[in-house]
Amino acid sequence: MSATTYYILHVLSVIFLTVITFNAVANPKPERRKKALMNSGILSLLVLVGGFGLVAKVYGNTWPHWAFVKIALWVGLSAMAGMAYRQPGKANLWGMLTLAFVTAAVFLVYLKPAF
């Protein structure tokens, strides 16, 4: 696969994962939990495959420091839908954390700070 394919896979998966997460935060109905968590898990795996594929193709498997922070943000984003269903009373917190994780990831990928 080319770097472009991994890029498209990664970005689309992150977008859809974010949509599912915000949907879970906004409306955590128990009957939707199983399907939402299943979809978020699949999309989370696709985010991981796309991200690792990009590192392999673009950086030749040498890991820039900002990529480790993005992995931590991915773990946090992956947990948000589950947290929204587990503790729906904290919906504002989960929504703000989701927004913060996605915003930080976008800044990291475009600014590529040297730590």
DSSP 109: H
Residue 114 has pLDDT above 90, yes or no: no
Question: What sign for the dihedral angle of Cα 30, 79, 35, 21?
Answer: positive
Task: Transcribe 96-108 into DSSP letters.
Answer: HHHHHHHHHHHHH
Q: At 115, is the pLDDT very low, low, confident or very high (cuts 50, 70, 90)?
A: confident
The domain locations on the chain are: 3-111
Q: How far is CA 80 from CA 22, 48, 76, 92, 93, in A?
A: 9, 16, 7, 12, 10
The pLDDT assigned to 61 comes to: 83
User: pTM for the whole thing?
Assistant: 0.91
Under a CB-based contact definition with an 8 Å cutoff, are residues 104 and 87 in contact?
Answer: no
Express each pLDDT in 72-103 by its tens digit: 999 999 999 999 999 999 999 999 999 999 99
Express each pLDDT in 9-63 by its tens digit: 999 999 999 999 999 999 999 999 999 999 999 999 999 999 999 999 999 988 9
Average pLDDT over residues 101-109: 95
The pLDDT assigned to 99 comes to: 96
